[in-house]
Every structure is written in structure tokens, then in C-alpha cells.
Amino acid sequence: MSRSVVVTGASSGIGQATALQLAGAGYEVFATVRSEEKADKLRARAEEEGTRLRTMVLDVTDGARCADVFAEIAGLTGGGPWAVVNNAGTALPGAIEDVDEDQARRLMEVNLHAPARIARLVLPAMRHRGDGRIVNVSSVAARAVMPFAGWYSTSKAGLSALSHALRMEAAPWGVRVVLVEPGFHASPMLENAADAFERRASVSSRYADCYRVASRSLRDSSRYPGPERVARAIHRVLATPRPRARYVLGTDARVGGRLDSLVPYALSDRVKSAATGLSSAAGLEGLLARAGGVHRRP
Ligand SMILES: NC(=O)c1ccc[n+]([C@@H]2O[C@H](COP(=O)([O-])OP(=O)(O)OC[C@H]3O[C@@H](n4cnc5c(N)ncnc54)[C@H](OP(=O)(O)O)[C@@H]3O)[C@@H](O)[C@H]2O)c1
């Protein structure tokens, strides 16, 4: 019998590529998306590729719906899925002072609380079976922190710590918890982040120029590898008998993560400020302020 895997956030990007990759490799895939329309599109896409998967409509921030969907999957899989890929995620671009509490809470709901909730739902059956995998899709941003991505980094660093604890707690029962940390990969998330930066730039903010720089850089998706590379790595995590605790995917992720821990903050902060236009924006504002204080932005 084929092994069953739930992939959350499978409407696009890494989640879609992973669901298709696993279905093509013979896994019984339950792909969650947020609307019937997206479910239809995904199933059609799978059919085009000559494979099949089941779709479930799920917003991972809805606790009651999560319980219902995982109960339904349990009924179809003899107790519960063999593996879950917690991929659903979102970004929240903007300087810390420009992000309000509700936006930050919503981000933490999707990127941090939902994977924990799903782990609570699937662990009992995995433990009972003495076998199972939970793959949490984090990001290089968990370790390499950039200006204007502070909340995203916070959510992913939280997910990394949560996965670390869960890995130790679940291991005695044969359940492997694996963290995947990709670098930049082309996906709608980057486009959405670019749009969000532009919206922020259009309202009053001292960071408007930096937001425009960030938006331009994110739109150039030809610079980034496709999401299929992450999908293949997740497939390997599921196929290998003894997966590692953590997989860092992409040169940018390997180099960025390592540099952030090795280079002194005094240097890396300056480089990041220059790269994001922050130091020149602050320099110009300081100059204007010293020249008369009339141009200081609110
Ligand atoms: N792309 C990168 O460079 C990169 C790098 C490192 C890590 N990651 C991580 O990889 C994962 C996938 O991202 P991606 O790049 O493939 O972006 P994406 O194409 O935008 O995919 C995000 C997926 O999450 C879903 N989602 C968002 N909020 C949700 C919610 N409340 N409930 C259920 N599903 C929800 C989206 O559904 P809708 O279509 O309905 O919005 C979409 O299917 C994320 O966890 C992300 O943080 C991405």
C-alpha cells in the first residue's frame, strides 16, 4: 500500500510542486488548498501530469476545520496520514514599526501556530503506528535576518525552534520531525511580497524608497530557481529511511545562514543596511533634518 502524505498550501509554488512530485512518485497525496476553485485547478494540473491526488479545502488558521479535515483523512488512511508537509505559509513585508499587531498575529497563526496544531492532530496516530514524518517548511530567513522581513523571520525562527523541540519529543515513538530551510525560490509568495512592499511605499513611511528597492528585487524571479527543487528535496526527506534533522536548500540559504552566524553584527548590519537602501535613506533624512528639520518624515 502506498504511503499517505498531507501537503498544506498546495495551490501554488513549493506546495503545489511538492504535491505533484509526491503524487508522481506514487504517494497517496492529500493536498490542501483554500477554495474549491483552487482544488479543481490542482486536480486538473495533476491529471495533465498523468497523476492523481485528493484535494481538501482548508484554511490552516481555522482550528475547527483543521480537526474536521484531519478526521476525514484519518478515516481514509486507516487512522491518519503517514506524513505531513507543513508548507502553507505567508510573508509579511515591512519594517517592524509599519506592521500592526493584527497583521503580525495573522502571520504567526499561519506560519507558527498552524504547524503546531496540525502536529497535535496527527501525532497520536503516528505514535500508535510507531512511524511517521512531519516536515516543516521554514526558511533561511529564520537564521539570516534582513531589515523589512523581521516578522517573517520571527515566525520562521519560531517554527525552527518548535520543530527542534518536537523532533526530540516525537523521536522515541519513531516519528521523525524534519526542518526544511529553503533560500529564495520563484513562487507567487515573492510576487505577493513585491506587491505588499509597493502598497507600503505608497502610504507615508520613512522607508518608502527602501520598499521600492525591495519590490524591484523580488519581482526579478528569473534570478531564483523554481520550486521544483524544494519539492525534490522534500521527496528525498520522505524517501530516505533516516532523514537528517534539517535541510538547507540553495546556495543563498547555505551562505546567508552561515555568514549571519560568523560575521560580527557590526559588519553584517552595515552590509544589509546598504543593500536594502536603509543606510542611504537614513543618511539623507539625517542630512535634511540637520539642515532645518523641515523634511523629517512622520
Ligand atoms: N519562495 C521562497 O523563496 C521561499 C523561501 C523559503 C521558504 N518558503 C516557504 O515555503 C512555503 C511555501 O511558499 P511558496 O514560496 O511556495 O509561496 P506560495 O506559492 O505563495 O504558497 C503559499 C501557500 O500557502 C497557502 N496559504 C497561505 N495562507 C494560508 C492559510 N491561512 N491556510 C492555508 N493555506 C494558506 C497559499 O494558499 P493561497 O493560494 O490560497 O493563498 C499557498 O498555497 C512557505 O511556508 C514559505 O514561507 C518560501
Residue nearest atom 19 of ligand 1, based on CA coordinates: 13
Report, as an integer, the average pLDDT of 210-238: 93
Q: What is the mean pLDDT of residues 213-231?
A: 91
| Of 6, 7, 8, 14, best ligand 1 pocket probe by most atoms within 8 Å of the beta carbon | 14
Paired with 7 in beta bridges are 31, 85
Q: Which of 221-225, 262-266, 270-274 has the lowest mean pLDDT?
A: 221-225
> What are 137-182's pLDDT values in tens digits?
999 999 999 999 999 999 999 999 999 999 999 999 999 999 999 9
* Protein residue with its CA nearest to atom 45 in ligand 1: 89
pTM of the model: 0.94
Q: Could you tell me the maximum CA-CA distance found in the chain, to the nearest angstrom? A: 75
Does the pLDDT value for residue 298 go beyond 80?
no
Which residue's alpha carbon is nearest to atom 3 within ligand 1? 184
247 a catalytic residue: no
Nearest ligand 1 atom to alpha carbon 137: 45
Average pLDDT along the chain? 93
Is the pLDDT confidence value at 89 over 90?
yes
Alpha helices (H) in the chain, listed in sequence order = 13-24, 36-48, 63-76, 101-108, 114-129, 150-170, 188-202, 208-219, 228-239, 251-262, 265-275, 278-290
Averaged pLDDT, 254-281: 90
Q: Which of 34, 70, 118, 234 has most ligand 1 atoms within 8 Å of its beta carbon, as the pocket-test mutant?
A: 34
Check pocket membership of 281 for ligand 1, CB cut-off 6 A. no
Q: Which CATH superfamily is domain 4-187+224-263 in?
A: NAD(P)-binding Rossmann-like Domain (3.40.50.720)
Confidence of residue 285 (pLDDT cuts 50, 70, 90): low
Q: What is residue 297's predicted lDDT score, i.e. its pLDDT?
A: 44
Q: Is the CB of 188 under 6 A from ligand 1?
A: yes
Query: Measured between alpha carbons, how far is 124 from 99 in angstroms, rounded to an integer?
Result: 37
pLDDT category, 291, cuts 50, 70, 90? low
State in Å: Cα 230 to ligand 1 middle: 13
Question: Is the CA virtual torsion 272, 219, 10, 117 positive or negative?
Answer: positive
Q: Specify the range with the lowest mean pLDDT, choosing from 72-86, 94-108, 121-135, 256-270.
A: 256-270
Q: Which residues of 8-44 are buried (b: 16+ CB within 10 A; e: fewer)?
A: bbbbbbbbbbbbbbbbbbebbbbbbbbeeebbebbbe
- Residue range 275-283: average pLDDT? 82
pLDDT-derived band of residue 43, with 50, 70 and 90 as boundaries?
very high
Expressed in angstroms, the distance from the first to the final Cα of the chain is 63
Report the distance separating Cα 111 and Cα 102, nearest Å: 14
CB 143 within 8 A of CB 257: yes
Is a pLDDT exceeding 60 seen at residue 293? no
Quick check: 122 and 173 in contact, CB under 8 A? no
